[in-house]
Structure 1
Amino acid sequence: MDATEYDLIVIGAGPVGENVADRAVQGGLTAVIVESELVGGECSYWACMPSKTLLRPVAALRAARAVPGAAPAVTGGVDVAATLHARDRIVHEWNDAGQVDWLNGAGIDLVRGHGRLDGERRVRVEAPDGTERVLTARHAVAVCTGSAALLPDIPGLLDAEPWMSREATAVAEVPASLAILGGGVVACELATAFASFGTRVTVIARSGLLGPFEPFAGEAVAQELRAAGVDVRLHTDVQAVRRDGAARVVELKGGDEVRADELLVATGRVPRTGDLGLETVDTGATPLTAGEWIGVDDTLRVPGTSWLYAVGDVNHRALLTHQGKYQARAAGDVIAARATGGEVDDRPWGAHVATADHSAVPQVVFTEPQVASVGLTQKQAQDAGVRARTLDVDLGGIAGAATHAPGYAGTARAVVDEDRGALIGATFVGADVAEMLQAATIAVVGEVPLDRLWHAVPAYPTISELWLRWLEAYGRPS
């Protein structure tokens, strides 16, 4: 811990920073991670892991209630106290000792404190006690500071002391009522969770739900939220927010108001680059700006530098933990290759690039129903000038769905590049469709010809038979 010089300095100890450092160390380098909060980052303590734990009970109850032989055994709703206890276990009571042990075992040093860039290959760290130290990198610095919830410029919002996603996933007591601003993934997932807890939830969205996905995905989620008792208000603008005693009052354009005990803001993300020392970095013609996303090339290196990398949310390519870890593996490997004089494979889909961020990003929304997608939507393909064909399948008409639960409802859409005869996008909406996503991801990334997919026979009776339905709709090979 007394060392001040390393081959690699990583700012941020979330899953992205951990993976960059780990891959670099496996490549023969020394590495240190600088972290001002908990080792493990947002995903481990305030995002992916706790939120999915909060959502699991409602999914399990839905699955049991849908099966005639199991439904009679369900005699109650979600046990809120037990759910919050499970959340506490998943986040280890917000204690990162286990993550620190992993760093030690991986041969990665840890420096606690706030790290700021301080010129080329230098990072100044302010410790919690106010003391400072300077670390120097022989080869590279990787910024892996992630993103934070966006607070929109709405009059009175800040004074209303709203929740952001952190407060919502770390809640100790659920409120009687909750208003949610936003219609994206966080808004939809947390509306699902809190409605299952018995909270009276109102979702206020400026447009529809899950805008970047296929339209039928947001429509299905809105329908199920309403069925769960959520007041879903779409295409609704907020004029102002105020406090009225302990209540938060959301004033809507047109004069209507929504009152709630708590207010959750889930309207987007901003990069954690506001106090990072970006102004000290010489990038040539295009300077870096505090508070903005950091642009990178496909090897995750900042253009105009030979030593600075930005990995994960902070580069704004795909704000997803699994994509950040994907980038991190490529970044750690290429940093090690460049440092040791190894060969750099920066071809498309090469070992040292993050190509999939452009065209094959998978994502799951853990709502009721689940939404899973990869690649391009129909609109994205059209906007990109692709001669695309769309294939829609009613999942309820597949034999495997009938054994899953009576009345199973869902939709699967394939987007096919007609010129290449290959899948370029897929969206699944229905119960437990998340487990179907990886097959589509492999087909998109591998550019598997549809003619070859005729020989990838789906097991019967499973919902994966939808692949055969897609192929039949497309037409047999000549």
Structure 2
Amino acid sequence: MTSDEFDVIVIGGGPVGENAAGRTAAGGLRTALVEAERFGGECSYWACMPSKALLRPGHALAAAKRLPGVPVGDRLDAKAVLARRDEFTSHWDDAGQVQWAEGAGIVPIRGRGVVTGEREVTVDGRVLTARRAVVLATGSVPRLPSLTGLSEVPFWGSREATSAHEVPESLIVLGGGVVGVEMAQAWARLGSEVTLVISQDRPLAKFEDFVGEYVADGLREDGVVVHASAKTSSVSTVEGGVELKLADGTSIVGKHLLVATGRVPATSDLGLEAFELEAGKALPVDDTGRVSGVDWLYGCGDVTGRAPLTHQGKYAARAVGSAILADARDPEPWSVAVATADHAAVPQVVFTDPEVGFVGRTSAQAREAGLSVRVVDVDIAVAGSSLHGDGYRGKARMVVDEGTRTLVGVTFVGPDVAEMVHAATIAIVGEVTVDRLWHAVPSYPTISEVWLRLLEAYGL
């Protein structure tokens, strides 16, 4: 091979692209990893890591306040919180990520990659060729609402919200999804006056109905003003900030506006039109990540629209790498070369206080899938939760397919429930029956004892 010839070319150097490239490089294939901005991607610098670094100190303070006898103050040290956040982003320097790639046998190439021919990628005028495959892992970009005046007003996206170096005096958050609720709580706990505006009757509307109610209560306890079922009409610049007007005549003024109304696959400007693929839309892929109609092109992560979560994208990337190594055409459903879990076993955590942990199907989704559904709800009120903090409030839901007596969905909401999700994920992926699950005895006294209460409520 020449210096511009590779076995595999991966476009997109975030966690998803890194996993795909790492897999093929470890398998002996000469692999290039192309990145237009920072190696490490959105998650490392503007999403998962900085957002959780902003949230965790507030959670720790709130948890300490729930325990009598623990000496705590009333406010966070915002300067220290932001400094720790900067450490987790490596101060937005990707030298460490480049070093990792090179150590893994990957050839990092900085620049914007465009697919310009069959197995051909052009990076700022440099033409690269791939003997086996091209992989697209370019992630997603913000979706902006159709809102009068938005194009004329300075506003934050998720990047600005996670990388700001001063606590805003006041912040209007537009959007009740994961980014909206997490950033609303993070900045409220750091001292900002936050207003959350959502179009649905509750935040996190795609989750089980009770989830949004718990999260909204948690936000209000932190001083966040929540406008639910609100239709926005316009936004404009006013002295000292921005003004958001609602359809009912309500006017909301804040120093900054955060627009968090979702994301779309980043498939524009990649040259896909030449292969009869629609730019700006999700890539149509099978479970190996192979793009429909283009035998040598693969996609993984947010670009596929399947499960836009970092952990799920990394899982799909490992499947893509394995599929390329084996030239897998129709592998077994649960082999390492397919992303089978994307269909019905996707876990997700929302890092608010209370936390939300969910995996599988909601009760509504299970019914839509034609399953014979039984829903079991219990409050999280066990010895472990009582010890965890005074006034602990939480809820758990178990969705059972009565045809097979297996779990198809589990939701937890409450302080520190995130670490309970993986047990539910294993039960769903393993198709463990409730009768067998009865013998998985939860340790006492832990919050996990809620599993026993769920099964007792089911009737075991």
Give the TM-score of the pair, scaled to structure 2: 0.98
Secondary structure of residue in 2 paired with 1:248: strand
Matched, 1:385 2:376: no
What's the offset of the Cα at 1:474?
Answer: 1.5
Question: Does the Cα contact within 8 Å between 2:26 and 2:105 map onto a contact in 1?
Answer: no
Matched, 1:277 2:277: no
Correspondences of 1:1-16 after superposition (within 5 Å): 3-16=3-16
User: What does the per-residue CA deviation read over 1:383-425, in whole Å, with 9 as the maximum and x for residues that have no partner?
Assistant: 11111101111112x1111211222110000000000001110
Residue from 384, 387, 410 that aligns with 1:403:
387
| Number of the residue aligned with 1:184 | 177
Task: Work out the CA distance in 1 between the residues paired with 2:171 and 2:223.
Answer: 12
Secondary structure of residue in 1 paired with 2:3: coil
What's the offset of the Cα at 1:440?
Answer: 0.4
User: What does the per-residue CA deviation read over 1:97-117, in whole Å, with 9 as the maximum and x for residues that have no partner?
Assistant: 110010010000011111001
* 1:117 counterpart letter in structure 2: V
* 1:350 counterpart letter in structure 2: S
| Number of the residue aligned with 2:277 | 288
What's the offset of the Cα at 1:246?
Answer: 3.5
Task: Work out the CA distance in 2 between the residues paired with 1:198 and 1:88.
Answer: 19
Task: Work out the CA distance in 1 between the residues paired with 2:249 and 2:220.
Answer: 23
C-alpha RMSD of matched pairs (Å): 1.2
* Greater than 3 Å deviation, 4+ residue runs: none
Residues 138, 348 of structure 1: alpha-carbon distance in 2 compared, 3 angstrom cutoff? same
Residue from 298, 301, 318 that aligns with 2:307:
318
Correspondences of 1:51-450 after superposition (within 5 Å): 51-70=51-70, 73-126=71-124, 132-207=125-200, 208-281=202-275, 287-338=276-327, 346-396=331-381, 398-450=382-434
Aligned identity (percent) is 55
Question: Does the Cα contact within 8 Å between 1:179 and 1:203 map onto a contact in 2?
Answer: yes
User: What does the per-residue CA deviation read over 1:102-160, in whole Å, with 9 as the maximum and x for residues that have no partner?
Assistant: 0010000011111001021000111xxxxx10000001000000001111121111211
* 1:295 counterpart letter in structure 2: P
Task: Work out the CA distance in 1 between the residues paired with 2:69 and 2:429.
Answer: 40
What's the offset of the Cα at 1:345?
Answer: 6.1
Task: Work out the CA distance in 1 between the residues paired with 2:436 and 2:459.
Answer: 13
| Number of the residue aligned with 2:435 | 451
Secondary structure of residue in 2 paired with 1:401: helix
| Structure 1: tracts of 5 or more residues without a match | 127-131, 282-286
Aligned length in residues: 459
Secondary structure of residue in 2 paired with 1:151: coil
What's the offset of the Cα at 1:280?
Answer: 2.2
Task: Work out the CA distance in 2 between the residues paired with 1:191 and 1:230.
Answer: 7
Task: Work out the CA distance in 1 between the residues paired with 2:222 and 2:377.
Answer: 27
Task: Work out the CA distance in 2 between the residues paired with 1:41 and 1:453.
Answer: 39
Question: Does the Cα contact within 8 Å between 2:400 and 2:408 map onto a contact in 1?
Answer: yes
Question: Does the Cα contact within 8 Å between 1:345 and 1:351 map onto a contact in 2?
Answer: no
Task: Work out the CA distance in 1 between the residues paired with 2:65 and 2:267.
Answer: 46
Task: Work out the CA distance in 1 between the residues paired with 2:7 and 2:428.
Answer: 36
Mean CA deviation greater in 100-109 or 24-33: 24-33
What's the offset of the Cα at 1:347?
Answer: 2.2
Question: Does the Cα contact within 8 Å between 1:121 and 1:139 map onto a contact in 2?
Answer: yes
Task: Work out the CA distance in 2 between the residues paired with 1:264 and 1:26.
Answer: 41
Task: Work out the CA distance in 2 between the residues paired with 1:211 and 1:384.
Answer: 19
